[in-house]
Amino acid sequence: MPKRPMKPTPPTDAYLANIWHLFNLRESPFFQDTLEASTDARYPIALFVGRTAEARRMLKEIGGKPSTRLAIKGPPGVGKTTLVQYLKSEVLRDAILSRPEPVAVSHTDTTDTFLLRLLSYVYETIVSHPLHASVEDVEPVQSARQLIRAFRLRSGGLSLTVPGGIGVGVSRETDVVTPEGVTAVEAPRLLRELARVIVDRLEAKGILVHVNNLENLSEADQTRSAGIMRDLRDQVLMNQHYHFVIVGTADAIQTVVTSHKQVRDVFGLPVPIGPLAYEQLRVLLARRYEHLVLDSDERPRDPVDSAALARLYGLFAGDLRGTLRALDEAAHALVGYGAEAASPMTWEDMLPVLRERYEREMADQLTDTQAGYLRKLAGSLEATVTQKTLMGIWSVSQATVSEIAGELVARGYLEAEPDPPRGPGRPQIRYRLAGAARLIFP
C-alpha cells in the first residue's frame, strides 16, 4: 500500500521552515527545472501543458520517415525545451531512443568538437539502455568510447560515467591523443555504425538527437555553427535512423538552419512556438499544485491570486520561465506575511518587492553605461525598435548598437526577433524590453 502523504506541519519561525506547507504543498510550484520522462522523475512529463498542434505535427514527421531534421523556434522561456522533452517521451513509445540532456552548442565549437558532442550523446544513449551489456564489446561501441576518452584527455574534460557501472576514467598519466583529421573521419563512421547497433542489437527504431543552446550564442557564433551544420549535412544530418531536433530563438534558427541552402533544403519548415495562453498557464500551475500536494485529503491552495498572475504574465509577455522565476522570488519575500499566513500574493504586494530585486540584479549585472542605454530605450516611445532606430536613440554607430544590444539580450533585458523577410538577404532584427526590464522601467 502506498505511503499516505503526511499532514502539513504548523508554520514555525525555524530557519528551515517550509513556507509551502502553508498552501498544502511539498515545495515551490514555481520551479524552472526541465520535465523528464522517467517514471521516478521529480518533475514528470505528465505536467506538460499545451502545444498539442505543434507536437502532433512533429510526431507525424518523425513517425513517417526513417530520418528527419526538425527545427523549433520561439522567444526565450516559452517552453521550447519542455516541448522537446515531451517529444522524447512520445517517440520512446515507438522505440526511438534519446537522452534527457541535449547536445549543447558551445561558442568555442569547431566541426570536430561538435562531432564529439554528438558521438557522446549517442554513445551514452546506448550504454544507458537496459540491454547495454550485450553491446559493450561491439567494435563501434568500443571505438566510440576510446575516441571520446582521447578527446576528453586532450581537452582536460571530466571522466565519462554512465549508468550500469560503465565508466571511462580519465588518467592524467596516460598520454592519449587524436591525430589531426581522425575525428572528422572516424566520428561520422561511428555515428553510422552506432545507429546499426541501436537498430540491430537494441531492437530500437532509431535515436532522437536534441541540439540546444543556440539562443545563447552571439551572432558570429551562430554563423560559425551554420557552417558546421553545412559541413555535417551529408556525413551526419542525413544518416538513417537519426532524428535531429534543433531548438533556438527565431534569429538563431534563421542563421544556423536557413543560412545555407544545403542545410535549409533538408530541414522541414521551422515550427514556431508562441507563448502559452493565460488559461493554459492556469492549467499548468493547477497540475503542479496537484503533483506537489502535501496532504491528499485536502486541496492545495493557490499561492498567488489570479489578477496578480495575469498582470505578471502579461508583463513578461508570455515568457514562462521569467514568470515562474519572478513568482518564486516574490514568494520568498511575501509568503506567510499576508493578512493571514496562507493569503495568496497580490499584485500590489508583489510589484515593489520584484522591482527592488530586479533593480539590484541589474546593478550587479550591467555596467553604468549599459544600464544607461537600457534606460534611454525604456524612455523612448517605441514598443519595438530596429538597430537603425537604436542608433538614433543611443547616438552610436551600428557596430556599437549590435554589441550593446547583444549584451543586453544575453543578460535577459532585451528580446530580439527577426522581422519577416522583405526580400533577399538577412531579415533585420527588432528589439523590445524583456520582462525584467519592464519590471524595472514601468
| Domain residue extents for the chain | 19-33+276-362, 51-272, 366-440
50 forms bridges with which residues in the sheet?
Answer: none
Q: Domain 366-440, what architecture?
A: Orthogonal Bundle (1.10)
Calculate what percentage of the chain has a pLDDT beyond 90: 59
C-alpha to C-alpha distances, 274 to 227, 318, 362, nearest whole angstrom: 28, 8, 27
Burial class (CB in 10 A: 0-12, 13-18, 19+), 130: exposed
- Assess contact for 313 and 78: CB atoms under 8 A: no
pLDDT above 90 (res 323)? yes
pLDDT digits (tens, 9 = 90+) for 252-284: 898 899 889 999 999 988 999 989 999 999 999
pLDDT above 80 (res 338)? no
pLDDT above 70 (res 344)? yes
* Pairwise CA distance, residues 301 & 280, whole Å: 18
Q: What is the pLDDT of residue 158?
A: 38
Q: Looking at residues 14-20, what average pLDDT do you find? A: 69
Q: How confident is the model at residue 138 (pLDDT cuts 50, 70, 90)?
A: very high
Q: What is the pLDDT of residue 156?
A: 52
* Pairwise CA distance, residues 294 & 299, whole Å: 9
pLDDT above 70 (res 183)? yes
Which of residues 250 and 337 earns the better pLDDT score? 250
Can you tell me which residue has the cell 528551515? Answer: 16
Strand ranges for 152-292 from DSSP E: 160-162, 166-168, 206-212, 242-248, 271-272
CA angle, corner 295, sides to 290 and 299, nearest 5?
A: 50
Beta carbons within 8 Å of 340's beta carbon, 6+ residues apart: none
Burial 359-385 (b: 16+ CB within 10 A, else e): eeebeeebeeebbebbeebeeeeeeeb
Q: What is the pLDDT of residue 10?
A: 47
Q: Looking at residues 150-170, what average pLDDT do you find? A: 47
* Pairwise CA distance, residues 89 & 91, whole Å: 6
* Pairwise CA distance, residues 281 & 334, whole Å: 21
* Pairwise CA distance, residues 341 & 172, whole Å: 56
Q: What is the pLDDT of residue 172?
A: 35
Q: What is the pLDDT of residue 105?
A: 87
Read off the pTM: 0.82
* Pairwise CA distance, residues 210 & 99, whole Å: 8
Three-state secondary structure call for residue 242 = strand
pLDDT digits (tens, 9 = 90+) for 360-414: 999 999 999 999 999 999 998 778 889 899 999 999 999 999 889 988 988 889 9
pLDDT digits (tens, 9 = 90+) for 23-59: 999 999 999 998 887 778 899 999 999 888 999 999 9
Q: How confident is the model at residue 442 (pLDDT cuts 50, 70, 90)?
A: confident
- CATH topology for 51-272? Rossmann fold (3.40.50)
Give me 285's grid cell: 500551475
* Pairwise CA distance, residues 149 & 215, whole Å: 29
Nearest by Cα to 75 from 440, 432, 441? 432
Three-state secondary structure call for residue 76 = coil
Count of all residues that appear for the chain in the document: 442
Count of beta carbons in the 10 Å neighbourhood of residue 318: 20
Q: What is the pLDDT of residue 1?
A: 45
Q: What is the pLDDT of residue 221?
A: 85
Which of residues 378 and 167 earns the better pLDDT score? 378
pLDDT above 70 (res 181)? no
